[in-house]
Amino acid sequence: MKRVLLIVAAFCALGCGSAPPPEPAPVPEPPPLLPDGTPVGEDAIEPPPEPENPRPEPSAASEATPEPGAESPQPEPAAEAPSAVPEANLTVGSMTVDEMTVNDLECRLEGVGFMTTLQLLGSIAAQKKALDRCAPKGDAPLVRWTFAGGKAKDVVVEGAADGKVKKCVAKAAAKMESEMVGDCAAYFLVGAAAGAQAAYERAKGGN
């Protein structure tokens, strides 16, 4: 019995020793990469597809910006209406004296002073009744005249409603009196105020 035990012990000394430790598993190397970081090989990630409607590139015209300090083109100013009296030294847009309204008064007079406008409008207003009878429903003819020798001369009427009104206004305007000397032109608003204003707006190109 002791001999059997000794034989078993001898075999254990030869083959029953501790087994050597297992070798570590090799670590896989990372796949090579492209310059943009994309892996190469079967596991490579495919790039995203191009959009069907790519965004258009801005044109050169849209990218163009004005240089610093460059002035943008300015619209040309509208041409001014010609003056009824060249080189006028007295102008009045609209004025009413003794219920007589005169628009766009222009004059080239000698010795224009502080009271010149009132004196001029007073000479026109003195003929209001005669002027109103020319167009009771209202009119706004353009009247041109010259003051000389204390009276109005060379009276010209433009834009009256008809020939009858034209002659009547010219006759009434010829009776204006003033010691002033020079040329004048103005729209006389005669007759009914509403009709006269409407006629004036038509004469000036309004509706």
Task: Kindly state whether residue 31 falls inside one of the protein's structural domains.
Answer: no
Task: Kindly state whether residue 153 falls inside one of the protein's structural domains.
Answer: yes
Task: Kindly state whether residue 143 falls inside one of the protein's structural domains.
Answer: yes
Which among 167, 164, 165, 144 is positioned nearest to 156, based on CA atoms? 144
Task: Kindly state whether residue 1 falls inside one of the protein's structural domains.
Answer: no
pTM for the model: 0.61
Domains identified in the chain, total number: 1
Task: Kindly state whether residue 34 falls inside one of the protein's structural domains.
Answer: no
Order of all β-strands in the sheet with 151-158: 90-97, 100-109, 182-189, 142-148, 151-158
Task: Kindly state whether residue 177 falls inside one of the protein's structural domains.
Answer: yes
Q: CA 128 to CA 176: how far, in whole Å?
A: 10
pLDDT (tens, 9 = 90+) of the chain, 207 residues, equals 545 445 544 444 444 545 555 666 666 666 666 666 666 654 555 556 666 665 656 555 455 555 665 565 665 554 556 678 888 899 999 999 999 999 999 999 998 888 889 999 999 999 999 999 999 999 999 999 999 999 999 999 999 999 999 999 999 999 999 999 999 999 999 999 999 999 999 999 865
* Parent domain of 102: 90-203
SS3 7: helix
